Chain A
Amino acid sequence: GNSVTQMEGPVTLSEEAFLTINCTYTATGYPSLFWYVQYPGEGLQLLLKATKADDKGSNKGFEATYRKETTSFHLEKGSVQVSDSAVYFCARMDSSYKLIFGSGTRLLVRP
């Protein structure tokens, strides 16, 4: 079916550690892919996006590369900060332009 699968959280890291949150998708064709972030008590904010294979989305030190061979869009950051603590959602756009979200991964960064 058409879905988005994320690694389960919570992910707990120390400040300045390297972050990877895995995301894979199933879809027909090559959908646009997104990472959204939800800070505590807030709504969903677009973090980054990639619209075609091999595109790299980046924002605020986060990166994700659209890999069609592995149908993945893993989120990475070289050095996390306490302020990055949030829930991260991977999403893809389907043919009718609605977003299909993964289950979310909670990141907790400790000082």
Chain B
Amino acid sequence: EPEVTQTPSHQVTQMGQEVILRCVPISNHLYFYWYRQILGQKVEFLVSFYNNEISEKSEIFDDQFSVERPDGSNFTLKIRSTKLEDSAMYFCASSDPWTFSNQPQHFGDGTRLSIL
């Protein structure tokens, strides 16, 4: 079964540094998402992306965050100047636009981001 893959599985970064989290969505999917989960808390929506632009973003997704689909396969989340509170598990997801209600997003295994 096709999978969403995320790299790296764990990223440790100094506060104030830039970090890029990478995702390879399922190949025929057209909608892409980033969610995050602070340790022990709920999974929160960050941003959705379709047709090379952001469809929706949450309040969490401020000017420090950006997303990009640089080629036909990768989908990246960039945090320009990381803060301690950015420490979380970041999940990428993708979905097939024709089966939204029946088959929602497929999730990757996540990247654990630790800010020191």
Contacts and interface: CB of A to CB of B under 8 A. Distances in A.
- Interface of chain B, helix or strand or loop or mixed? strand
Interface stretch (A20-28, A58-66, A92-100): A92-100
A43 B109 contact: yes
B100 A97 contact: yes
Interface string B68-96: 00000000000000000000000100010
Contacts of B95: 97
A97 B48 contact: yes
Contacts of B101: 32, 51, 93
B56 A43 contact: no
Contacts, number: 57
A44 B43 contact: yes
A34 B41 contact: no
A45 B107 contact: yes
A44 B107 contact: yes
Given A32-B104, A51-B101, A93-B101, A102 B109 contact: no
Interface in A61-111: 89, 91, 93, 96-104
The 7 closest A-B pairs by CB, nearest first: A43-B109, A44-B107, A101-B43, A103-B42, A32-B101, A98-B45, A43-B110
A34 B104 contact: yes
Chain A interface size, as a band, is: 20 to 34
Contact of A98 (B48, B106, B110): B48
A96 to B, nearest CB: 5
A49 B102 contact: yes
B18 interface: no
A37 B55 CA distance: 26
B25 interface: no
A31 B110 CA distance: 26
Nearest to B45: A98
13 contacts: A32-B104, A42-B109, A43-B91, A43-B110, A46-B104, A46-B106, A49-B103, A51-B102, A91-B104, A96-B56, A99-B45, A101-B44, A103-B41
Nearest to A97: B100
Contacts of B91: 43-44
